[in-house]
Amino acid sequence: MSNDGTSHSVSFTLRQGEVRETHDAGVEAFDAALARVGDGEVMHFMDPRRIQTFAAGGPPVWSVATVPIGPDTLYLTYGLSRAIDPARPSTFEMSVRVRGPATMWPALFLRGLCRYMITSGRALEVGQFMPFPAPITRFAVAPAEQGQMPDAPLNAACFVEDPALPRIETPHGAVEVRRAIGIHPDEVELMELWSTAGFVSAIARRDPTLATDLARPSYVHDAAVRAAVEEGSARDGAAFSYVAIPGVRWAQEGGGIVAHFPGGAHAARIHRMLRARLPFGRHLLIHDIDPSNPLAVAIEPSPQTGLRVEGPTLVLSLPMEHPLLTTLENASPQGIRWDLK
């Protein structure tokens, strides 16, 4: 059934080995866990192709279920873990809590996260964040259908232990639940100065439910949240070891090496991250947002200057007070060029 209430017919042929196996006892345990934390009936977004394995064209997980919880809806994947799907090696599922009644886009969002993990082989760990090329409401939807989903200013998510349902006990083992929280792009820049856990602890003082609200303003404009993050960064430094920006490159020229960085706000962001990393004895990797560009620059703290090349990465050893780093603080929009010997 579609999200507008109309019914559609789908037919397909199943071949040997293409039927998805599902642990019924795991499904029952998940349903019961959702019912305990929710305020109403547990429902499932039904995809007729879920009886097919992912390799045969079925969805990445068997189901996404929902339950009302206060003024929100909690969504939970069924089948990323082996407690539901015996073919899966993982022991966790993904969730998101969204303001308002159940709707389609959060289920597609969670399925998109699962598809990414299954196809890439990279798990989304607690403490990480992930940017998207489109709003979280649309990133997992085909371009031709994105207009059917709501627009939103949130185009990234961070991942924490689900505060409402951190763990589910099943006959096939315990399952961890990892909550995705939709965040604004400027919140990513604030969060990376400290850590995901620190940023989430600050916003939890405003909203302990950690719900994704498409209409909320950025916490960057909340003085208390910003102060908490800045204090945490000054005390603990930045947990994130990299920053991705456009236009990072370097090349050997005339017996030396020339490194290029973008200017303006991008350069200022690099400088903020360096101040949150180098004084704490931590390096910073600066690479392009374009994954097809492997060139990167790593800056590591050192009382002495140094230069070496490690594959596509140019490694600079510099003290925080080095004149090169001050060029990042108030760089012009035209960009920065470092001539290195």
Mean pLDDT score of the chain:
93
At 290, the pLDDT band (50, 70, 90 cuts) reads confident
Q: Which residue has the higher pLDDT, 332 or 167?
A: 167
The answer, yes or no, to whether residue 278 has pLDDT greater than 90, is yes
As a whole-number percent, the residues of the chain with pLDDT over 90 amount to 85
Q: Which of 220, 215, 189 is nearest to 202 (CA)?
A: 220
* Lookup: tokens for 96: 């998101």
Tell me the Ramachandran region of residue 56: left when phi exceeds 0, alpha when psi lies from -120 to 50, beta otherwise. alpha
Question: 159 is written with which tokens?
Answer: 């991942």
Residue type, 39: D
Radius of gyration of the chain (CA): 23
DSSP assignment letter at 162: -
252: helix, strand or coil: strand
pLDDT, position 3: 44
Q: Which residues of 225-335 form beta strands (DSSP E)? A: 242-245, 249-253, 256-261, 284-288, 296-301, 306-310, 313-318
Q: What is the mean pLDDT of residues 300-304?
A: 95
What is the token pair recorded at 330? Answer: 């108030």
SS3 state of residue 185: helix
Name the band, by pLDDT with cuts 50, 70 and 90, for residue 276.
very high
Question: Would you state the pLDDT for residue 16?
Answer: 61
State the DSSP string of 108-125. Answer: HHHHHHHHHHHHH-----
Q: Are 240 and 250 in contact (CB under 8 A)?
A: no
What pLDDT, on the 0 to 100 scale, is given for residue 118?
Answer: 95
- What is the length of the chain? 341
Q: What are the tens digits of pLDDT across the range 230-269?
A: 999 999 999 999 999 999 999 999 889 999 999 999 999 9
**Contact status, residue 193 vs residue 277, Cβ threshold 8 Å:** no
What pLDDT sits at residue 1? 37
Question: Which residues share a beta bridge with 314?
Answer: 297, 309
What are the phi and psi torsion angles at 246 (to 5°)? -80, 150
Per-residue pLDDT tens digits for 85-136: 999 999 999 999 999 999 999 999 999 999 999 999 999 999 999 999 899 9
Residue holding tokens 């209409």?
215
Distance of CA 142 to the CA centre of its chain: 20
Beta-bridge mates of residue 8:
none
Q: Is the pLDDT confidence value at 10 over 70?
A: no
pLDDT of 304 higher than 70: yes
Domains and CATH numbers, the chain: 24-236 (no CATH), 242-340 (3.30.1360.230)
Res 18: pLDDT: 83
List the beta bridge partners of residue 44: 65
| Model pLDDT, residue 5 | 52
Question: What SS3 state is found at 307?
Answer: strand
Q: Is the pLDDT of residue 65 over 90?
A: yes
Rounded to 10 deg, the angle between the 196-204 and 223-236 helix axes is 150
